[in-house]
Amino acid sequence: MSSEPGLSSPRLPAPPARLTGAALFLDLDGVLAPLAPTPDAVVPEPRRTATIERVTRALDGRVAVVSGRTLAEIDRIVGGAARAASGVHGLERRRADGALTARKPAPSVRAALAAFAAFADARPGVIVEDKGLSAGLHFRQAPDHAEAALAMATALANETGLALQPGAMVLELKTPGADKGTAVAAFMAEPPFAGATPVMVGDDLTDEAGFLAAAALGGFGVLVGPERPTAARYRLEGVGAVLDWLGGLAAAATDEETRA
């Protein structure tokens, strides 16, 4: 991975404690919420919801959750705090004004779900997730099956034309045509994000497209978690550090407004 264009060796500093004119794009799992054994094990948490609401107010609405989760799951986990959000790796999106856009699911997603279900039936601990626009195969509880899962999903991607999206102990076959980078770019072309400095905060390979999009638009990425080759410019240690940083940004923005 270190040889891929746009990726550099880490040793990254913490992001700035103050950001003027920023627009925040926040991944969910591993960034705003701890990773869990199963997708539905991630539940709402008051501090998370309050922090998102606070930083959204402080940045005049320039905050969006950009996740592989569906919009419905994003709303469940953040307690409805995300006015703007993108789900299923950019395939569905809710603008800050509430308008919804979504791609049509590729017909072959159903075939991928059936193949994933057959794979999971023979392997306890492997979970299939139907996102409508994509099929997910989770093996966090069965890591010994990771190699077989990747081989099967790669073959399916070649057969169906679906996009293979690796994640943290999950593989997705999704309707092609969008990713987290296209979601960031779309938000940045609309109010209230237009003209701001984009900052993408993410933890895994699915977020690299968002880091690159933010950099291309004059901003930067923030990697969350262990050091690794990445297109991000800064790093935070984990979910707690992210929530602390967001709270500090909100406080700093409020202080600047008060002084003005």
Q: What confidence tens digit (pLDDT) does each residue in 186-200 have?
A: 999 999 999 999 999
Residues with a catalytic annotation lie at 27
The pLDDT of residue 126 is 96
Grade residue 253 by pLDDT with cuts at 50, 70 and 90.
confident
Q: What confidence tens digit (pLDDT) does each residue in 114-138 have?
A: 999 999 999 999 999 999 999 999 9
| pLDDT over threshold 80, residue 29 | yes
Out of 3.40.50.10320, 3.20.20.80, 3.30.70.1020, 3.10.180.10, the CATH code matching 108-174 is 3.30.70.1020
Eight-state DSSP code of residue 190: S
Domains 22-103+178-259 and 108-174 share a fold: no
Q: How much is the pTM? A: 0.92
The pLDDT of residue 4 is 46
Nearest Cα to Cα of residue 219 among 45, 78, 62, 87: 62
What is the distance between the alpha carbons of residues 136 and 130, in angstroms, rounded to a whole number?
A: 6
Other C-beta atoms within 10 Å of 100: how many? 9
Q: How far is CA 128 from CA 84, 107, 124, 125, 230, in A?
A: 27, 17, 11, 10, 28
- CATH code that applies to domain 22-103+178-259: 3.40.50.1000
**Boundaries of every domain in the chain:** 22-103+178-259, 108-174
| pLDDT over threshold 50, residue 82 | yes
| pLDDT over threshold 90, residue 10 | no
Q: Which two tokens stand for residue 138?
A: 């989770």
Per-chain mean pLDDT for the chain: 93
- Average the pLDDT over each of 8-12, 44-48, 190-194, 199-203 and give the range with the smallest value: 8-12
The pLDDT of residue 257 is 62
